[in-house]
Amino acid sequence: MKLNKSVQLIILCWLVYTSSYIGRLSYNANIVQIREYFNVSYSETGLVSTFFFFIYGFGQIVNGLLCKKYNIKYTIFTCLIISSLMNFFLININDFNLIKYLWLINGASMSILWTSLIRILSECLDKKDINKAVIVMGTTVATGTFFVYGLSSIFNYINNFKLIFYVASILLIIVALIWICRFDYLVKDLKEVINKEEKEIRKVNNKGIIIIILTFSVFAISNNFIKDGLTNWTPSILDSIYHIENWLSILLTLALPLFAIFGTALATLFHKKIKDFNLLCVVLFLISTLFLSLVVILINEDVLVITLISFAFTACLMASINNVITSMLPLYMKDKYNSGLLAGVLNGFCYIGSTFSTYGLGLIADKYNWNVVLYTLLIVSIVVIVVGLINFKINKKIKY
């Protein structure tokens, strides 16, 4: 059975963003091995990711503002090629100090993708297909993370972690070619779905974006601080606390993205009961806090299974919140706001949290220990719940 063009476009966008995660997390998935290979500290290895997240978050905001002016066909193609080259160069240099600059370039190119993909989906899909796009695109992060950590575990088992960078480089080139070959065929007719009336509504209501950004910036920063803190440092936490071999710690970390794949479905399920996006995020943070509390309470016990389960459910809930902020909110409100702008700016705030997370938690681990890192994640989660509840009361009162 032949898929209609709208479904094919959603699949193509899914393929682009999923593969981009392999190109951007190839370093983070092997951060323990890279630290040992170059003989550098946790904070130094974390600084590379900080460079990436800083430019990625800043780029999201800039590209959210400018994405309407981009030729998406060639822009996305170019970004994928640049990321491919950065992965290839990273593993073929001997100077660790240069790596952060390569990853800075990689982050700048990757920052264009999400805003551009959300923009093209909002311009080409009707409301029925938007629902499909929200669910499908919500699985990209978890799926890409699962594959990059899964492959990294295999390559570490055979003592050749460098292979993941070559896989990422080749995959990104293949996807770039598929994108540029299929784009015109899929998009040409679909753009007529968005009529003039919808465009006028979006133009009139652009001022509301400021209120949305103020409301969800705290959620976005806190979400990625916890989400990427777990994703990037769980192998190191397991290695430090439970003294697990590198390949096995990465393999066990696969539980995080595997569970996170269900985050989109969980967000959609909760949204059926809780229509207010602000309250929805608070509820999801509250549940994740319970799991983080369990880890902290049992921090001195030999309970690897409980720790992994708690991390897995926390990852799922963080993926749900991320999907609400960067996918559901922009696409469901496409009739009122510029979806590309809203997705870009909110995603930019997410990566402000990532910037603090990777370097900050690595620095805390260097100066103290991983127990303090876990306490930090728990405190952030509790604080954002309090802020969210206060925000909900204020927003309910002014009826934004």
Mean per-residue pLDDT for 280-284? 93
* Dihedral sign of CA atoms 322, 323, 329, 335 in order: positive
SS3 content of the chain, % helix, strand, coil (to 5): 85, 0, 15
DSSP readout, 104-144? HHHHHHHTTHHHHHHHHHHHH--HHHHHHHHHHHTTHHHHH
Token digits of residue 126: 């009707």
pLDDT above 60: residue 201: no
Task: Quote the Cα angle for 116-228-38, to 5°.
Answer: 105
CA distances for 4 relative to 11, 177, 294, 332, angstroms? 11, 21, 46, 21
Q: What is the DSSP letter of 324?
A: I
**pLDDT confidence of 265, banded at 50, 70, 90?**
confident
pLDDT at position 79: 96
Tally of CB atoms within 10 A around 242: 15
pLDDT at position 250: 67
User: Please, which residues have CB within 8 angstroms of residue 64's CB and are 6 or more apart in sequence?
Assistant: 115, 340, 341, 342, 343, 344, 345, 347, 348
Task: Quote the Cα angle for 290-21-37, to 5°.
Answer: 90
pLDDT in tens, 170-179: 999 999 999 9
3-state SS class at 368:
coil
User: Are 116 and 183 a contacting pair, CB within 8 Å?
Assistant: no
Token digits of residue 117: 């993909």
Token digits of residue 148: 């990059």
**pLDDT confidence of 95, banded at 50, 70, 90?**
confident
pLDDT at position 1: 47
**pLDDT confidence of 301, banded at 50, 70, 90?**
confident
Mean per-residue pLDDT for 21-26? 92
Is 0.85 topped by the overall pTM? no
pLDDT in tens, 115-131: 899 989 988 888 778 88
pLDDT at position 208: 61
pLDDT above 80: residue 25: yes
> What is the number of helices (H) and of strands (E) in the chain?
19, 0
Q: What percent of the chain lies above the pLDDT cut of 90?
A: 29
Q: Which residue, among 88, 91, 85, has the nearest Cα to 34 in the 3D structure?
A: 91
pLDDT at position 73: 93
pLDDT at position 153: 83
Tally of CB atoms within 10 A around 371: 16
